[in-house]
Amino acid sequence: MSSTLVILLVGAFVAASCALVGAFLVLRRMSLLGDAISHAVLPGIVIAFMLTGTRSSIPMLIGAGVLGLVTVALVELFNRTQRLREDASIGVVFPALFSLGVILVTRYTASVDFDLDCVLYGEIAFAPLDIFYLGDLSLGPRALWITGAVLLVNLVFVGLFFKELKLATFDAGLAASLGFSPVLVHYLLMGAVSLTVVGSFDAVGAILVVAMLITPPATAYLLTDRLGTMLGLSVLVGVTASSLGYGAARLIDCSIAGAMAASAGVLFLLALLFSPRHGVVARTLRHRRLAEHMDDKILLSHLDAGECVAAESSLRERFTWSEAHFARTAERLLRAGLAARCAGGLVLTAEGERLLAETRLPVDRSQSPDLKGA
């Protein structure tokens, strides 16, 4: 298997597994939890090294996984006191655990070649070089097995507990009344998040894991309002970002993980701007159409059927419109057949009268100036 294919597969596996659980973090407004776990696991890594005396992946992953669960438990414990919000609980827990890890590193591993950059941040370019051996049999890159197993676990988890996750995420009270335990579902989800972060960052790096955990789901959130579609789009966006990032990294000779994370950010920016429903451009166009619609109704309400309203300057002054604004509004009414030109002014057509009758827009004409006549 070529190195390029290994890197692409590992990136796709990580993106897909992160997207599946990250979607629920985004919906629960717990996006910072992935970043917290990726830093708070450091003492678990160091303790695993101190107990086993080895820097092999399995003991360190176990130690990191245990601390990941401890992080989740502490955040939930502080949050349940109702004195701290979720973000504040995360902000208290992960710096404390990360600092503890730094103290353990400087105190007990100072004389050992213990590369924190490698342990915490990884490097996806090295994934093809770390081969998994079963005795003398080579089974291929270890990262493929680990990230593939994490993806499989997440697929099974989300598939089996989709209904429970959906209910507990959107309406915990309803979930409890139907016999589900929102607390149990929460801890199962947090365990899956911890497994995903710990199982992935050794191969691809903490920065890429955090980026794929949040950015693809946030992108999908802008594109759909359905949870099932959001999960599918999250996986698609994550896999696309990993592929585009690898191509960009090869093209400009830069960090692969950084390019993948940046590609995910670019896709998010495109969705933010051009999403059909929630994008900035679409919202701006909707607001503009709404404003034009209201202007049309305001002008229509001051016209009469069969009587020419000629005092355009008085109308502009009343509405505080510019001459160009009034001209654009009048032109839209003329094109739509709601008004017609008369001797120096505008007159309401039958279609415009019908539209006004349907909308029943109330108008106080007691304060209106005398606008009739040529």
pLDDT over threshold 70, residue 369: no
Q: Quick one: DSSP state of residue 249?
A: H
User: What distance in Å separates the CA atoms of residue 93 and residue 71, rounded to the nearest whole number?
Assistant: 7
CATH of the domain at 256: 1.10.3470.10
User: What distance in Å separates the CA atoms of residue 287 and residue 357, rounded to the nearest whole number?
Assistant: 24
Domain annotation covers residue 44? yes
67-73-79-80 Cα dihedral, nearest 10 degrees: -160
Token digits of residue 203: 């191969």
Domain annotation covers residue 372? no
Domain annotation covers residue 267? yes
- SS3 string of 154-215? HHHHHHHCHHHHHHHHHCHHHHHHCCCCHHHHHHHHHHHHHHHHHHHHHHHCHHHHHHHHHH
Looking at the structure of the chain, the number of domains it has is 2
Mean pLDDT of 107-120: 59
pLDDT over threshold 90, residue 16: yes
User: What distance in Å separates the CA atoms of residue 53 and residue 62, rounded to the nearest whole number?
Assistant: 14
Residues 271 and 288 in one domain: no
- CA 212 from centroid of its chain's CA atoms: 10
CATH of the domain at 328: 1.10.10.10
Q: Under a CB-based contact definition with an 8 Å cutoff, are residues 127 and 7 in contact?
A: yes
333-335-336-339 Cα dihedral, nearest 10 degrees: 40
> Which DSSP string corresponds to 331-366?
HHHHHTTSEEEETTEEEE-HHHHHHHHHHT----GG
Give the model's confidence band at 371: pLDDT under 50 very low, under 70 low, under 90 confident, else very high. very low
Residues 48 and 142 in one domain: yes
pLDDT over threshold 80, residue 120: no
Partners of 141 in the beta sheet?
131
Q: Quick one: DSSP state of residue 49?
A: H
User: What distance in Å separates the CA atoms of residue 3 and residue 128, rounded to the nearest whole number?
Assistant: 6
Q: Each residue of 25-64: pLDDT tens digit?
A: 999 888 887 778 777 777 887 788 788 876 666 777 777 7
> Which DSSP string corresponds to 274-308?
H-TTTSHHHHHHHHHHHHHHHHHHHHHHT--BSS-
Of the segments 201-215, 284-298, 341-355, which one has the largest average pLDDT value? 284-298
Domain annotation covers residue 237? yes
Q: Under a CB-based contact definition with an 8 Å cutoff, are residues 16 and 151 in contact?
A: yes
Burial 341-360 (b: 16+ CB within 10 A, else e): ebeebbbbbeebbebbeeee
For residue 134, the enclosing domain spans 3-275
User: What distance in Å separates the CA atoms of residue 295 and residue 305, rounded to the nearest whole number?
Assistant: 19
Q: Under a CB-based contact definition with an 8 Å cutoff, are residues 164 and 83 in contact?
A: no
Domain annotation covers residue 79? yes
Residues 219 and 359 in one domain: no
Q: Which of 275, 299, 316 is the last residue of a domain?
A: 275
Can you list the pairs that 318-322 forms with residues at least 24 positions away whose Cβ atoms lie under 8 Å? 318/368, 318/369, 321/295
% of the chain residues with pLDDT over 70: 89
User: What distance in Å separates the CA atoms of residue 37 and residue 94, rounded to the nearest whole number?
Assistant: 7
- Secondary structure class of 2 (helix, strand, coil): coil
Write down the residue that tokens 């993806």 correspond to. 151
- Predicted confidence at residue 178, as pLDDT, reads 81
Give the model's confidence band at 373: pLDDT under 50 very low, under 70 low, under 90 confident, else very high. very low
- Predicted confidence at residue 372, as pLDDT, reads 45
Residues 206 and 129 in one domain: yes
Residues 119 and 215 in one domain: yes
Residues 262 and 325 in one domain: no
Token digits of residue 89: 């609980």
Give the model's confidence band at 121: pLDDT under 50 very low, under 70 low, under 90 confident, else very high. low
Mean pLDDT of 126-141: 78
Give the model's confidence band at 107: pLDDT under 50 very low, under 70 low, under 90 confident, else very high. confident
Domain annotation covers residue 339? yes
pLDDT over threshold 90, residue 241: yes
Mean pLDDT of 337-351: 83
Give the model's confidence band at 23: pLDDT under 50 very low, under 70 low, under 90 confident, else very high. very high
pLDDT over threshold 90, residue 70: no
Residues 296 and 194 in one domain: no
Q: Each residue of 284-329: pLDDT tens digit?
A: 999 999 998 888 888 888 887 667 776 677 777 778 888 888 888 8
- Predicted confidence at residue 155, as pLDDT, reads 95
Q: Which of the pair, 178 or 230, is modelled with greater confidence?
A: 230
Residues 316 and 197 in one domain: no
Q: Which of 275, 309, 333 is the last residue of a domain?
A: 275
For the chain, the C-alpha Rg in angstroms (whole number) is 30
Residues 313 and 230 in one domain: no
Residues 231 and 294 in one domain: no
Residues 82 and 228 in one domain: yes
Domain annotation covers residue 374? no
Write down the residue that tokens 């349907």 correspond to. 358
Residues 285 and 266 in one domain: no
Domain annotation covers residue 373? no
User: What distance in Å separates the CA atoms of residue 282 and residue 277, rounded to the nearest whole number?
Assistant: 6
Q: Which of 250, 275, 300 is the last residue of a domain?
A: 275
Window from 63-72, 114-123, 167-176 with minimum mean pLDDT: 114-123
% of the chain residues with pLDDT over 90: 26
- Predicted confidence at residue 244, as pLDDT, reads 94
Q: What is the pTM of this model?
A: 0.80
